[in-house]
Amino acid sequence: MIDAAEQTGRRRRAWWHAAWAVPAVSGPLFTLLRQDFADSGDWVWAVGMLAFAPTAALLLTLRPGNRVGRILATVAVAAGVVFTSDGIATTWDHVAASVYLEVVSTAAVVFTFWGMLALLFLFPTGETRPGWPRWSFWVFTTGLVGFLPVLQLIRPGPTTLTGRVNPWAVDAAWVEPAIEVGLFSLLGGVVFGVAALVQRYRKSDGAERAQLKLLVLGAGFVVCLVSVIGIVPEEYDTGLVGVLMSLVVILGFWALPGAIVAAVLRYRLYDIDRIASRTVTYLVTVVLLGLGYAGSLVALQTLLPFEGALPVAASTLAMAWVSIPLVRFVQRFVDRRFFRSRYDAQEVVAAFSTVARANLDLEELTSQLTEVVHTTLEPGHVTVWIPPDGE
């Protein structure tokens, strides 16, 4: 039974989640409902940033008061303010208040960067490590949130989207240099944040190290996808290819908050090495198959005396034929190079299976089984119970 105090706490948390989730979700939805969203390309960013609101709500519901969840909620609300303000400024530019909202959106962008920076220092425990990570966190994050939004509000010159005059502009020579210093401090904060994350990883073990691995996997997935999209020529950014590229970007957006929530909730946490191994394997395999397809297609079109669908079909069939052996080869290579402990464990278990099939001596099998368990699982103690005859 749930007592009255617990029910009251749940209702308060529900109202609190609704209070911040409404602006967080309404901004991207407003962008998606605009008539020109398909032409502007803002729908990709809107759908991508929608990931932060439900993941933050899930994390704060299951872990009330969790600081990582609060950071995700801050990013979601800031993104909602940005999308709403920019949408009103570009759609209803004749409204007098729209120029004020456009200026507010530039200040709200700072909070999205602040959230990403704070995660580097606070993930996964919500606390900074003592020493230089702690003071650098307060110096960079407090300075970023304390000064940059105000500087963006009073920045002189035309606004970014509509080119109108900032009504809150302060005609002072020190504003622009101060903004440049603030942006430079943001870069310095990222450097210190990554260093703090590396230090935390080196001094952690067990569950915390697995959580950090999952965060790095999610961030690396985003970086890989964005890098792949960035090298695609602009002439291919149309039609079906353009839609697929947009879906890839959205997948990258959702990967990072999803990895953060899974790490904090410790969902299948100790499968991270297997997940990372499979992710790297399939990424490498896709790249190799793409290069092989392009190379074989060019070679066949050059060597064959005729053109048409035959070179394309032959290249496709060749890549389909080598795909499964290629996945197995890449999987073994990745495990041997980057996930050595898992590869060694697989080798030990395979060797024991071979010996067990050819050996019927119970004492020797028990000794080898104990050795396999020590090698693969590294337990503190191993006990083998053999039932007496007749049981």
- 80's tokens: 């909602």
Cα–Cα–Cα angle for 26, 78, 9, nearest 5°? 75
For residues 362 and 152, give the distance between their C-alpha atoms in angstroms, rounded to a whole number. Answer: 76
Q: For the chain of 391 residues, list the mean pLDDT of each consecutive stretch of 10.
A: 60 65 73 59 76 85 84 88 82 76 86 88 88 88 82 84 83 85 84 90 81 80 66 54 69 82 73 66 75 77 68 77 82 67 58 62 64 57 64 51
Residue 209 CB partners (closer than 8 Å, separation 6+)? 201
Residues in the chain: 391
Specify the pLDDT at position 121: 92
Helix (H) or strand (E) holding 72: helix 67-91
Helices (H), 95-206: 98-122, 132-153, 175-202
Specify the pLDDT at position 322: 82
Q: What phi and psi values does residue 369 have, to the nearest 5 degrees?
A: -65, -40
pTM for this predicted structure = 0.69
For residues 335 and 281, give the distance between their C-alpha atoms in angstroms, rounded to a whole number. Answer: 9
Cα dihedral sign, 204-139-108-250 = negative
Specify the pLDDT at position 350: 64
Specify the pLDDT at position 166: 84
Cα dihedral sign, 260-263-268-270 = positive
Judge contact between 91 and 293, C-beta under 8 A: no
Spell 313-335 as b/e; 16+ CB within 10 A means b.
eebeebbeeeeeebbeebbeebb
Spell 42-80 as b/e; 16+ CB within 10 A means b.
bbbbbbbbbbbbbbbbbbbeeeeebbbbbbbbbbbbbbb
